[in-house]
Structures are given as C-alpha cells and as structure tokens.
Amino acid sequence: MRITSIDALRGIAVLGILFMNMTFHSHIYLGYVPFDPMMFSDQIMGLINSIFADGRFRSLFCLLFGAGLAIQYEYFKKQNLDVTVFLKSRLNWLILFGFLHAVFIFGGDILMFYGLVGYLAIKGLALPIDLIWKKARFHLVVGCIVMFGFAATFYSFYDPSTEVIRGSTEYNEAMELWYGNYLTQAAIQAGFALMLIVIAPFSILWQTLGLMYLGVYLYRTEFFSNGFNSSTLKKTIAAAVVSTLLCVAPQMFLKDFPIDAIPLLSSISAIFVALLYAHIVVRLCREPKALISMFIAPGKIAFSLYIMQSIVMAILLRWVMPEFNDTATLFDYFLIALIYTPIQVIAANMYMSKFEHGPLEAMWRKSYLKSAHKKQARIAPAVE
C-alpha cells in the first residue's frame, strides 16, 4: 500500500528542485553569472532562495530516497527475494540512467550520485532502528562540519577580482564555447558529473548518506503517517530558524561574500527546513480532500518529470533562446520555473489517470527486475 504523503512530498520535491537548477540548465559550468554591480532584485531573490529553496528540495529528495530504500527492502523481504541482489540491481539501473542524463542532457544530475550513495545506505538497512538513528546523526553532524569548513575556506581565500562578471570577455568566451557545439556541452557535462563523484567523499557525501539514513528512520517510526510530535516539532522549528538566520546573515552583513559559499551554508539549514516541509505535507495529507493531493501524481512519476525538466529546459534555454541568458535575472529564471510548474502538475495528473506507472518508472522497474531475477537464478533457484 502506497503512502500518499511520500508521493506528495516526492512531487513537491521534484517540482521544487527545478527552481534550484534553473540557472544551471542554461549553463552547467558558469551557472548564474551576476551583473556588476549586483542588481537589487538578484539580492532579494538570492535571500529568498537561501531561506526557502536552496538545498531544501535536494534534502527532501534524500530523505525520500532513504524511505524508498526502506520500503523496497521490506517489499523484497516479504517476497522472499534476495534483498541485496534486487536493491543493487535497482541502484545499478538508476546509476546508468543518471549517467546518460548527466552526459547527454544535464550535468547537474543527482540520480547517478544517489545511486552510488544508495550502495552505502543499503548496508545499514538491516540494523536496529536505534543504530540507524545513530548513523543518521553521525553522518549529518560530520557533513555539516565539512560544509561549514568549506564555506569558511571559500570566504577566507576569496578574491572578488576572480569572479566572472556578466558581459566580461571571459563570460563571452565561455558562452560562445558552450552554445556553439552540442558535443562540447556533452564533454563539459561529463566532466562536471565526474567532478561531483570525485569530490563527493570530501564534501556532500556525508550529508547525503545521513539524510538517507534519516529517511529510513522516519519511515520506520511512522513519521510519514503522523508527522512530528509537539516537542520534536518545536525543536525542529527552532533549529530551522536559527540555522537559516546563520545562513543568510553572511550574505547580508559580510562584504564580498562568495556566491559559491552560499549553497554550502544553505545545506545545513536545509536539513531542518526540509523536515518542516515534510511535517506540514504529512499533516495536510491526513485530510482526504486537501489541495495537497494534486502533488501525488507528480510524485508517482517524479523520475520521468525530473528527466523531462532537463530536456525541456535544455531545449528552451540552450537552443530556442540562448540569447535570453545574456540579460536574464534570477527573477526571470524563477518565472520560467513558476510557469512550467502547473504544466507539470496538470500533465502528471492527466497521465496518471490513464496509466499505472510513469514511462521511465516502468522502464526502470522492468529493467532492474529482469536483471535481478537473472542474477538470483544464477546463484540460487529462481524465486517466483
């Protein structure tokens, strides 16, 4: 039986992650290049992103990925299947899809990375719930320390004169190279994806694994059915407010604070804000006719929507109107994501009214089950 709050949360996460990735869909290497001097609207949008979006939806995805691993673990176990074989097959195919997505469509892919981290997470699925909670806390604490350390290092060695500015010679050369040839884009995207995997053990890996373990813990303690109790909710709100203030304070009060350091600080507050988002959605889902139900269908085909976001934005921003990126502000990118959001919601609900699985979800399911059954047949009598 599906848990509607998990589907709704996954739908919100996949819709929200587009707002985070918008500028990188136009240029994976440069991302958003600010004007000189920085526009006031960009400053406001930067603060809004840091408070409500930056890292929040990625953290939510990590929680749900962990919960999904726990759900699959229980399902395969009840079917008397080799849990490790089937989970690894599932992750192998996700890694393959992620690799193709990263190289040929969007270098900021998260699927390949999540699949690799999932390999580490499945080792702890059989542990008692208290040990899973300890693992989650340990990895999250280490991850937050690492991210804060990187942010402090960026700030300590930051030289504003090295920043690429909109309209500069370096900017124009990079844009000409990027938009001139698809093969160049694919090569840059492949390099970007490889770099993420290489540096992950020294950066984002710890938080990601901690969030996945936390997702397992939340699922097994029935959080996705009940939400937090009053005491835990108050602590989470306090942690979210304090950590978010600590994130935005440097942007507001420190001169020449590096843009690259902002996502690092945001990733810390994102943990608590994502938990608040999850609690709110879980409580709303307890009302059968709640408006939140419109996000259930997007959640069921989140994989397909995620890939489609990359395809649509690549075509729009790189091929249909690449000149848009020369003058676009953060608010302009926000508007594009905002306009595309209801299109995704409507399309998902229409699709799910006729089909049981999303197109990529069905392909993924068929592929990993076929591979897993073949492997299990080689090591033991096949289990039907």
Query: pLDDT tens-digit profile of 192-209?
Result: 999 989 998 888 999 999
Q: What percent of the chain has pLDDT over 70?
A: 98
- Residues 44-80: tens digit of each pLDDT: 999 999 999 999 999 999 999 999 999 999 999 998 8
* Residue reference for tokens 């969007």: 106
Amino acid of residue 202: F
**Per-residue pLDDT, 380:** 62
* Closest of 317, 24, 61 to residue 179, by C-alpha: 317
**Per-residue pLDDT, 1:** 63
In a 3-state reduction of DSSP, which class is residue 221? coil
What's the token pair of residue 252?
């507001």
User: Is residue 384's pLDDT more than 60?
Assistant: no
Arithmetic mean of pLDDT, 265-289: 93
User: Is residue 241's pLDDT more than 80?
Assistant: yes
Mean pLDDT of the chain: 93
pLDDT band at 270 (very low <50, low <70, confident <90, very high): very high
**Per-residue pLDDT, 333:** 96
User: Is residue 383's pLDDT more than 70?
Assistant: no
**Per-residue pLDDT, 99:** 96
Is 261 in contact with 154 (CB distance < 8 Å)? Answer: yes
**Per-residue pLDDT, 138:** 98
**Per-residue pLDDT, 257:** 87
**DSSP letter for each residue of 251-310:** HHHSTT--GGGHHHHHHHHHHHHHHHHHHHHHHHTTSTT-GGGGGHHHHHTHHHHHHHHH
Contacts for 292-295 with beta carbons within 8 Å, 24 or more apart? Answer: 292/8, 293/4, 293/8, 294/345, 294/349, 295/7, 295/8, 295/9, 295/11, 295/12, 295/15, 295/345
**DSSP letter for each residue of 264-280:** HHHHHHHHHHHHHHHHH
Q: What is the CA radius of gyration of the chain?
A: 21
**Per-residue pLDDT, 317:** 94
* Closest of 306, 278, 381 to residue 109, by C-alpha: 306
Phi-psi region at 265: left, alpha or beta (left = phi > 0; alpha = psi -120 to 50):
alpha
Give the DSSP letter of residue 203: T
Arithmetic mean of pLDDT, 89-103: 97
User: Is residue 290's pLDDT more than 80?
Assistant: no
User: Is residue 20's pLDDT more than 80?
Assistant: yes
Number of other CB atoms surrounding residue 222 within 10 Å: 11
Arithmetic mean of pLDDT, 234-248: 95
**Per-residue pLDDT, 381:** 54
Arithmetic mean of pLDDT, 136-156: 95
pLDDT band at 36 (very low <50, low <70, confident <90, very high): confident
User: Is residue 365's pLDDT more than 60?
Assistant: yes
User: Is residue 142's pLDDT more than 80?
Assistant: yes
**Per-residue pLDDT, 189:** 94
Predicted structure pTM score: 0.94
User: Is residue 289's pLDDT more than 80?
Assistant: no
Cis upstream peptide for 37 (omega within 30°): yes
d(CA 224, CA 67): 9
**Per-residue pLDDT, 351:** 97
Is 113 in contact with 199 (CB distance < 8 Å)? Answer: no
- CA-to-CA dists, residue 209 to 127, 174, 203, angstroms: 15, 34, 11
d(CA 162, CA 248): 23
